[in-house]
Structure 1
Amino acid sequence: MYGAVAAVKALSLIVPRGEFLTILGPSGSGKTTALMLLAGFVAPSEGDILIAGRSVASVPSYRRDQGIVFQNYALFPHLTVHRNLEFPLEMRGIKAAGRVRQVDRMLERVHLSGFGGRMPSQLSGGQQQRVALARALIADPPFLLLDEPLGALDRNLREQMQGELKSLHREFGTTTICVTHDQEEALTLSDRIVVMRAGIIEQTDTPAGLYDRPETRFVATFLGEANILDNARFRIESDAAPPSGTVAMLRPERICVASDAAPKRADDALRQFITGTVEDMIYAGPFRKYHVRVGNDLIVAREQAASGQQIFLSGDRVRLDWLRSDIRFVRT
Structure 2
Amino acid sequence: MEKLALSEQIEFRNVTKLYGQVIAVRSLSLTVGRGEFLTILGPSGSGKTTTLMLLAGFEAPTEGDIRIAGKSVASVPSYRRDQGVVFQSYALFPHLTVRRNLEFPLEMRGIRSAERAARAERILSRVHLDGLGDRMPSQLSGGQQQRVALARALIADPPILLLDEPLGALDRNLREQMQGEIKGLHKEFGITTVCVTHDQEEALTLSDRIVVMNAGRIEQTDTPEALYDRPVSRFVANFLGDANILDDPSFAVESDTPQPDGTVAMIRPERIRISAPGATKSADADQRQHVAGTVTDMIYAGPLRRYHVAVGDNDVVIREHVAAGRQIFQIGDTIQLDWLRSDIRFVTT
The answer to whether the superposition gives a TM-score over 0.5 is: yes
5+ long unaligned stretches in structure 1: none
Shift of 1:93: 1.4
User: Between Structure 1 and Structure 2, how many residues are aligned?
Assistant: 332
User: Using the alignment, how far apart are the partners of 1:77 and 1:49 within structure 2?
Assistant: 33
Question: 8 Å contact 1:142–1:174 — kept in the other structure?
Answer: yes
Aligned to 1:282: 299
Question: 8 Å contact 1:125–1:153 — kept in the other structure?
Answer: yes
User: Using the alignment, how far apart are the partners of 2:329 and 2:80 within structure 1?
Assistant: 61
User: Using the alignment, how far apart are the partners of 1:15 and 1:293 within structure 2?
Assistant: 43
Question: 8 Å contact 2:247–2:314 — kept in the other structure?
Answer: no
Question: 8 Å contact 1:86–1:100 — kept in the other structure?
Answer: yes
The one of 309, 316, 329 aligned to 1:292 = 309
Comparing 125-134 with 276-285, greater Cα deviation is found at 276-285
Higher normalized strand content (fraction of residues): 2
User: Using the alignment, how far apart are the partners of 1:293 and 1:6 within structure 2?
Assistant: 40
Residues 1:254 and 2:271 aligned together: yes
The one of 316, 326, 335 aligned to 1:309 = 326
% identical equivalent positions: 74
User: Using the alignment, how far apart are the partners of 2:287 and 2:23 within structure 1?
Assistant: 48
Amino acid across the alignment from 2:330: L
Aligned to 2:222: 205
Amino acid across the alignment from 2:20: G
Residue 144 of structure 1 aligns to a residue in which SS? strand
Aligned to 1:38: 55
Deviations 1:242-264 (A, max 9, x none): 11111100111100000002101
Deviations 1:36-82 (A, max 9, x none): 10010111011111000111111100111000000000000010000
Residue 205 of structure 2 aligns to a residue in which SS? helix
TM-score scaled by length of structure 1: 0.99
The one of 119, 129, 134 aligned to 1:112 = 129
Question: 8 Å contact 1:233–1:297 — kept in the other structure?
Answer: no
Tell me how large the CA RMSD over aligned residues is: 0.7
Shift of 1:89: 1.0
Residue 88 of structure 1 aligns to a residue in which SS? helix
Question: 8 Å contact 1:227–1:250 — kept in the other structure?
Answer: yes
User: Using the alignment, how far apart are the partners of 1:15 and 1:249 within structure 2?
Assistant: 30
Residues 1:327 and 2:333 aligned together: no
5+ long unaligned stretches in structure 2: 1-17
TM-score scaled by length of structure 2: 0.94
Shift of 1:117: 0.1
Amino acid across the alignment from 1:68: V
User: Using the alignment, how far apart are the partners of 2:302 and 2:295 within structure 1?
Assistant: 19
Residues 1:154 and 2:183 aligned together: no
After TM superposition, which residue ranges in structure 1, 4 or more long, deviate above 4 angstroms? none
Sort the Cα spacing of 1:46 and 1:295 in 2 relative to 1 into closer, same or farther, 3 A. closer
Shift of 1:219: 0.2
Aligned to 2:45: 28
User: Using the alignment, how far apart are the partners of 2:228 and 2:314 within structure 1?
Assistant: 23
Question: 8 Å contact 1:232–1:297 — kept in the other structure?
Answer: no
User: Using the alignment, how far apart are the partners of 1:221 and 1:300 within structure 2?
Assistant: 12
Amino acid across the alignment from 2:309: V
Question: 8 Å contact 2:270–2:318 — kept in the other structure?
Answer: yes
Aligned to 1:98: 115
The one of 83, 86, 91 aligned to 1:66 = 83
Residues 1:191 and 2:208 aligned together: yes
Aligned to 1:126: 143
Amino acid across the alignment from 2:208: D
Shift of 1:232: 4.7
